[in-house]
């Protein structure tokens, strides 16, 4: 039963991944990527990693894909705008991808492992214990990273032209006026 | 697949092959498409293939560290997407395109 579920989910995941690559419309690509992410979350369930499955759905399908969809619709991309690569480059890409998969799976297939009782692995309680005991410093560093990324995204994405209506210009204190002038010159 | 390392009839080789297939699909997308947004999505796909393999190894080894690292990779991917999409939006405002054949000023 588990094996059939694995094959079904794997089929959906690989098909979704290929449809991401080959569909012309970026919005269709995003939808197929969401499907792939959901199947990967189901794989996490199969692997007894329930907490990671929940986090995966929330972070990827909930946040990242919505961001992608938002940007695609903001930039108004569609299939008529996008140019395609030449046929030679496409064939080369397919051959390279196929060869890459063959080589990588051949190299990794013989990876040795020892099967241990999985009941201790996967629950949110155990993950939390490991995360907040052994990996507490990286955990805090990740929060700093997210803060830095958020600040960076705002700094990059902000418009250079400041909207300063004439009514607001009088309300500005003398201290802030010079900095406003500097920002406008940049 | 005849393997002694079974978990509900599943072996680690299954996950290795699935992960490499997903990773190869991501590589194929990066090589195949010209839209920078699609390339970005394919990079996400590659990250997820690695995550899946990491969770599989963590489960089969009975080691929680793999899942912790998947957690960190997810956080880094979220940060990467936020900054990358901001850069793409600014670039689109400048050159009105996300075609990577136009975005080649840093290439040589």
Q: Which tens digit of pLDDT belongs to each residue from A42-84?
A: 999 888 888 899 999 999 988 899 999 988 888 877 666 667 7
Q: Which of residues 41-100 of B touch A (CB under 8 A)?
A: 41-42, 44-45, 48, 51-52, 55-65, 67-68, 70-72, 74-83, 85-90, 92, 97-99
Residue B2 lies in a domain: no
The radius of gyration computed from the CA coordinates of chain B, to the nearest angstrom, equals 18
Residue B108 lies in a domain: no
* Among B21, B60, B89, beta carbon nearest to A157: B89
Residue B100 lies in a domain: no
Q: Where are the domains of chain A?
A: 1-82+114-124
CATH number of the domain where residue B64 is located: 1.10.287.3510
**How close does chain A come to B61, measured CA to CA in Å?**
6
d(CA B21, CA B11): 16
Count of residues making up chain B: 108
Tokens 């705008």 sit on residue: A81
3-state secondary structure A52-105: HHHHHHHHHHHHHHHHHHHHHHHHCCCCCCCCCCCHHHHHHHHHHHHHHHHHHH
Tokens 């990996």 sit on residue: A135
Mean pLDDT computed over A83-88:
80
Residue B29: which domain range?
12-95
| Confidence check: pLDDT of A181 > 50 | no
Q: Please report the pLDDT score of residue B5 as a whole number.
A: 41
Residue B104 · residue B36 · CB < 8 Å: no
Q: Please report the pLDDT score of residue A140 as a whole number.
A: 93
| Confidence check: pLDDT of A142 > 70 | yes
Per-residue pLDDT tens over the stretch B14-64: 888 899 999 999 999 999 888 888 999 999 999 999 999 999 888 888 778
Residue B64 lies in a domain: yes
Residue B29 lies in a domain: yes
Tokens 């959906």 sit on residue: A12
DSSP symbol at A118: G
Residue B48 lies in a domain: yes
Instruction: Please give the CATH topology (third level) of the domain spanning A1-82+114-124.
Output: 1.20.120
Domain count, chain B: 1
Per-residue pLDDT tens over the stretch A27-46: 899 999 999 999 999 999 88
Residue B73 lies in a domain: yes
Model-level pTM?
A: 0.82
Residue B7 lies in a domain: no
A76 at interface of B, judged by CB pairs closer than 8 A? no
| Confidence check: pLDDT of A89 > 50 | yes
């Amino acid at each position: 039963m588990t094996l059939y579920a694995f094959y079904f989910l794997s089929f959906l995941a690989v098909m979704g991944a290929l449809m991401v690559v080959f569909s012309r419309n970026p919005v269709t690509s995003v939808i197929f990527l969401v499907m792939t992410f959901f199947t990967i979350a189901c794989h996490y369930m199969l692997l007894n990693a329930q907490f990671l499955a929940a986090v995966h759905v929330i972070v990827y399908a909930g946040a990242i894909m919505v961001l992608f969809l938002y940007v695609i619709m903001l930039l108004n991309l569609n299939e008529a705008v996008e140019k395609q690569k030449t046929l030679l480059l496409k064939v080369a890409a397919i051959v390279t991808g196929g060869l890459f998969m063959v080589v990588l799976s051949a190299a990794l297939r013989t990876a040795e492992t020892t099967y241990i009782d999985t009941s201790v692995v996967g629950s949110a309680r155990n993950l939390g214990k490991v995360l907040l005991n052994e990996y507490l410093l990286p955990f805090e560093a990740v929060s700093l990273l997210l803060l830095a990324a958020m600040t960076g995204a705002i700094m990059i994405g902000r418009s250079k032209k400041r909207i300063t209506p004439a009514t607001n210009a009088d309300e500005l204190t003398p201290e802030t006026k010079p900095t406003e002038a500097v920002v406008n010159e940049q | 697949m005849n393997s002694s390392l079974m978990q509900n009839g599943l072996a680690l080789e299954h996950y290795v092959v699935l992960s490499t297939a997903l990773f190869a699909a991501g590589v194929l997308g990066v090589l195949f498409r010209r839209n920078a947004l699609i390339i970005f999505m394919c990079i996400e796909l590659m990250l997820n293939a690695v995550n899946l393999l990491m969770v599989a190894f963590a489960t089969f080894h009975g080691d929680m560290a793999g899942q912790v690292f998947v957690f960190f990779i997810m956080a880094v991917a979220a940060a990467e997407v936020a900054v990358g999409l901001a850069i793409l939006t600014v670039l689109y405002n400048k050159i009105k395109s996300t075609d990577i054949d136009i975005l080649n000023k840093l290439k040589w």
